[in-house]
Amino acid sequence: METFGNRVLLLDSRYEPTHLLSLSQGFVLMYMSKAEALVPSSRKIQTVNRAYEVPWVLVSQKCRPKKYRYVSPHFSRWMVYLRDHFTCQYCHHKVPLPTLTLDHVIPVSRGGQTSWENIITACKMCNLKKGSKDIKELKYKVRPYRPTYAPQALFPLKHRIFSMNAPAPWKAFLDFSQADIFYSECRS
Ligand SMILES: [Zn+2]
């Protein structure tokens, strides 16, 4: 089993994990000033002249790689759950999948559309409580949005790391709880 002791986690400029690099690939990115060290380590790479430290985590200056950018995911129940991290957007509780629902922020009866901009994840309790009321009456603050990339694009990397032994310095950057829900859903 790979232990990732010789790997560098690369984040994009929004601190989302995008790649696992070898120490030498990480070093080259730093040397070319294309990425900066975020979490240092004592791991070193030897060049002709001297040894350089290679960090655990690097941040790229770039945003997401092109193939993930501007991907407009299809609107679906599952994708809304992913966008909202399987969390009720009203009470901010993470609830089991069977108790998740979708809610129209502006109710259909008031002209609300079924779209990224008007649909959020809600738990059954909050959905019932809200009913066809206006969110301003309930003092909820929600801002549904159209994702600019497919959230599942990152899952293969997260899964690879999650299913093995992620080094402690990486854990802050990996959304384990989300991966966990997705994982158990796949297995069942
Ligand atoms: Zn709720």
Residue 114 sits in a domain whose CATH number is 1.10.30.50
Q: How confident is the model at residue 13 (pLDDT cuts 50, 70, 90)?
A: confident
Please state the φ and ψ torsions of residue 46, each to the nearest 5 degrees: -95, 125
74 Cα: distance to centroid of ligand 1 (angstroms): 25
Please state the φ and ψ torsions of residue 3, each to the nearest 5 degrees: -105, -5
Residue 10 is inside which H or E element, if any? strand 7-11
**Cβ atoms 175, 158 nearer than 8 A:** yes
182 Cα: distance to centroid of ligand 1 (angstroms): 20
**Cβ atoms 35, 59 nearer than 8 A:** yes
User: Are residue 23 and residue 55 in the same domain, yes or no?
Assistant: yes
* 143 in a structural domain: no
Structure tokens at 74: 């299809």
Residue 71: HSE in the Cβ half-sphere, 13 Å Cα cutoff: 15
**DSSP code, position 25:** H
Return mean pLDDT, the chain: 80
* 28 in a structural domain: yes
Mean pLDDT, residues 20-43 taken together: 92
Neighbours of ion ligand 1 (CB under 5 A): 88, 90-91, 123, 126
User: Are residue 29 and residue 58 in the same domain, yes or no?
Assistant: yes
93 Cα: distance to centroid of ligand 1 (angstroms): 6
Rounded-to-integer distance, Cα 137 and Cα 128, Å: 15
Number of domains observed in the structure of the chain = 2
User: Are residue 44 and residue 91 in the same domain, yes or no?
Assistant: no
The reported pLDDT for the residue numbered 86 is: 86
Q: CA–CA distance from 103 to each of 111, 130, 132, 139, 142 (Å)?
A: 14, 9, 10, 16, 11
* 145 in a structural domain: no
153 Cα: distance to centroid of ligand 1 (angstroms): 27
The reported pLDDT for the residue numbered 93 is: 93
* 148 in a structural domain: no
Answer with the residue of higher pLDDT: 97 or 176.
Answer: 97
Mean pLDDT, residues 80-89 taken together: 89
Among the candidates 138, 162, 177, a domain finishes at 138
pLDDT tens-digit map of 98-146 = 899 999 999 999 899 999 999 999 999 999 998 888 777 777 788 898 8
The reported pLDDT for the residue numbered 185 is: 31
Residue 183: pLDDT over 70: no
Q: CA–CA distance from 17 to each of 4, 60, 100 (Å)?
A: 15, 10, 27
Answer with the residue of higher pLDDT: 27 or 78.
Answer: 27
The reported pLDDT for the residue numbered 172 is: 72
Q: How confident is the model at residue 188 (pLDDT cuts 50, 70, 90)?
A: very low
User: Under DSSP, is residue 100 helix (H, G, I), strand (E, B) or coil?
Assistant: strand
**Domain range for 103:** 77-138
